Structure 1
Amino acid sequence: MKRRLFLLSGAAATLCARGDDAAPPPPWLHEEWEWQDEARERAVPVRIYRPREVQGPLPLVLFSHGIGGSRRGYSYLGQHLAAQGFASLHVQHVGSDRALWGAGSPFGLIGRLQAAAAPSEALNRVRDLRFALDRVLAQPSLALDAGRIAVAGHSYGANTSLLLAGAAVPQADELALADPRIRAAVLISSPPLHGVPEPERALAAVRLPSLHITATADDIVIPGYRSGAHERIALFEAIGSPLKSLAVFEGGSHSVFTDRANTGGVVANPRIKQATKELVAGFLQGVLGDGDLSQLSPWRQRHQELLARWVGPG
């Protein structure tokens, strides 16, 4: 198993080399592993963000990227969660990752995207998360709390998270998709469950606390597939979570929640990211802690002008 440890960003490392003018290191660090699921003959690369100084067992967030993404995406979220006392494990799904964009002729892109959205890959993505969770919990040196685990994802990754959180969909074999270790779900820009019989019934089966995040211009437009922002809200309304919250930002875009810097507006982009990472951390601190979500009320007040709609405490 190849292992790489990253203690500082390049900029921070340069500053530290200056001696007296050195800036303090960030409160987080990240590490990468090149895992292999031998049973499926499938690579499962991961990156974990965690606090630099660990105090007690860490709650864990299992993160799934969108189509064409990688373990190195959504770094703003992983870094913030680590700074707030979480471990955030970002899993790369090799059948639907960034290799799609450069693997072969541009004329074959639609076919590659369709293959990446096939039921077999959707199931493999869930199995990637379950495999990664098994592996990371088997490392006692990370000091993870097996009783405080959440799943999170963006776009296709939100669909993957739904399956792990208990969405009732037909399966090709007897392997259970829902993982009883998962205590909460964060669903960012979640597309509808296309191709799933009785999707409302499937969503009603999800009973974990759930946080849904979208934007009024959160439209998915890729070759062969379109999905409007209204479908994110419909999914929120259909999900069976007794405890659920929804944040809809004004404007934005589907990719504003990724690490891309300018999409959704040069001014709005960093503000939406800031509000998103604060909301995710606050929600998970509540539902994985004592259940107190009162801190979301001041969050709403701080970011009120960004919100087109809010459903939740306060």
Structure 2
Amino acid sequence: MKPINRDRRELFERALLGAAGLALLPQDLPAAQGDRSADAAVLRSDEPAHAQGPPTQNERRPHYELFEFAWQDSARKRAVPARFYRPLARDRADGAARPLVLFSHGLGGSRSGYRYLSDYLATEGIACLHPQHIGSDRSIWSAGSPFTVGSRLLAASQDAEAIARVQDLRFCLDQLFASEFADQIDRQRIVVAGHSYGANSALLMGGARVVRNGIGVDLRDARPKAVIAMSAPPFYGEASWTSILSSMKLPSLHITCSEDVIRIPGLLSGADDRVAIFEATAGLPKCLTMFEGGSHSVFTDREASGGFETNRRIKRASCLLIAAFLRLTFDQDPAGMRRWQSQHDDMLRQFIWS
């Protein structure tokens, strides 16, 4: 068994910042092809998740297995490491295929981030797949001088990497469905999700469409049936968000907080941008949740961001909200959303559901 790295400094570097905006240029998008004999390491599932994690972690042990893959996309000559949370069957009769959340990390993140969320979802029977986007991952914090971090952040948010991130997501689905786990996933219950830069990637995979030099860049993939966008930043170089997001017709959940502010070189973006992105999105049902307080990094594995107690409560509420949204989307069950709203009303600056 390979233990999960708990080094605090690595966690800090990984989760310092969620994302930049997005710039895209038209270019050829090769079909994803990979080495399907990629190495997989099995990790322990009985290790507790991050201390500020899901609401039930002190009440029961996680009920899943972790696998890490060293996938290689040979067509793009790009490594795509990934972590897979596989829920375990509750009993011998529990052989049902599982829903899947495909999660894209923010700028400077990695496949091991957002563990609090995937720990909760996998324990609830929802599989989670986290690719690591080489080029906009945690290596930007350590790839050179700390005085040039700003330039590395900007380089990581440019067109080629923005496209490559969505291709990473598509490639990971291809790999998973060519693996021994293929029959364990319900292909009609796939959600693409992401935080910050990863939220942009998720929206693009879900159908958001930008135009560069008069040419539309369409990265839509038909496999995801819903989108979860946590702290989505604006799209670089775009004047009309409606023109970008009116083509995103999937159900969507947008999560932010009142102090959700992105500050990186070339981008200052507040919670009002998250609201505008929600309003421009066409698909139904859609929900906007804005928590009171918090921070942009509160949705990462950082414990102190936004204040310890607020951080813990927002993480807990977000786990429950996402589970309720999945029931609404896939089971047409609105009761969970109504119940969630009534139970968390004291935490909310804004809640819109249509």
TM-score, scaled relative to structure 2: 0.81
> Which of the residues 114, 119, 130 maps onto 2:154?
114
8 A contact 1:211–1:246 mirrored in 2 = yes
Aligned residues: 302
How large is the RMSD of aligned CA atoms in angstroms?
2.0
Q: Distance in 1 between matches of 2:240 and 2:264?
A: 25
> Which of the residues 275, 298, 303 maps onto 2:339?
298
Q: Secondary structure at the match of 1:148?
A: strand
**CA 1:197 to 1:230, structure 2 compared with 1: closer, same or farther past 3 Å?**
closer
> Which of the residues 87, 90, 106 maps onto 2:127?
87
**CA 1:295 to 1:117, structure 2 compared with 1: closer, same or farther past 3 Å?**
same
1:26 paired with 2:62, answer yes
Q: Distance in 2 between matches of 1:299 and 1:11?
A: 25
User: Hey, what does 1:151 align to over in structure 2?
Assistant: 192
1:308 paired with 2:349, answer yes
8 A contact 2:227–2:252 mirrored in 1 = yes
> Which of the residues 183, 186, 196 maps onto 2:225?
183
User: Hey, what does 1:249 align to over in structure 2?
Assistant: 291
8 A contact 2:209–2:216 mirrored in 1 = no
Percent sequence identity over aligned pairs: 47
1:194 paired with 2:236, answer yes
> Which of the residues 222, 238, 256 maps onto 2:264?
222
**CA 1:249 to 1:176, structure 2 compared with 1: closer, same or farther past 3 Å?**
same
8 A contact 2:204–2:220 mirrored in 1 = yes
> Which of the residues 247, 271, 274 maps onto 1:205?
247
- In structure 2, what residue type is equivalent to 1:110? G
The structural deviation recorded for 1:10 is 4.4
User: Hey, what does 2:43 align to over in structure 1?
Assistant: 6
TM-score, scaled relative to structure 1: 0.91
Q: Distance in 2 between matches of 1:106 and 1:99?
A: 12
Where does structure 1 lack aligned partners over 5 or more consecutive residues?
13-22
The structural deviation recorded for 1:9 is 4.2
1:55 paired with 2:92, answer no
Higher relative contact order (CA 8 A, sep 6+): 2
**CA 1:11 to 1:185, structure 2 compared with 1: closer, same or farther past 3 Å?**
closer
The structural deviation recorded for 1:95 is 0.9
> Which of the residues 119, 134, 138 maps onto 2:174?
134
- In structure 1, what residue type is equivalent to 2:229? L
The structural deviation recorded for 1:197 is 5.6
Q: Distance in 1 between matches of 2:341 and 2:223?
A: 30
Q: Secondary structure at the match of 1:303?
A: helix
The structural deviation recorded for 1:44 is 0.3
Where does structure 2 lack aligned partners over 5 or more consecutive residues?
1-37, 50-58
Deviations 1:137-164 (A, max 9, x none): 1224351111211100000000000100
- In structure 1, what residue type is equivalent to 2:81? P
The structural deviation recorded for 1:26 is 2.1
